[in-house]
Amino acid sequence: MIEPVALKDFFITFFSSALIILAGASYALLYAWSKVNPNSRIKIAAYFSYAVLVISVGVLSSAANFSGYWLIVTILMIIGYFFAPIGIWHLCVKTHHNEEAAITINKRRSNE
């Protein structure tokens, strides 16, 4: 029977897991910041953070002996996490666009 995480891989698992959290958060924050403040350097930093996330997940998958079903789940998570900040950004833009349109209509009605 294979141990899920060998004792010699404990620190690799711990630090790669922590790096996944930090890289994922920095990817989402930098992506949103690049949309608010259009700057190509910020967007490149966001994609660099995503690359760090992918590498960390690869290290964690190797250290934790992921295979079969868990490896597929891991790959789906990586793909999904790339598109999650993009989708959330578009959702926020559409939501606030409707609010701005409603405010504009209310201002027109109050002026009439």
When pLDDT is cut at 50, 70 and 90, the band that residue 110 belongs to is: confident
Q: In this structure, which amino acid lies at residue 92? A: C
Check residue 3 and give its pLDDT: 62
Region 31-44: mean pLDDT is 91
Residue 65 Cα distances to 18, 72, 75, angstroms: 18, 13, 14
Residue 28 Cα distances to 10, 21, 64, 82, 88, angstroms: 27, 11, 25, 9, 10
Residue 102 predicted with pLDDT over 80: no
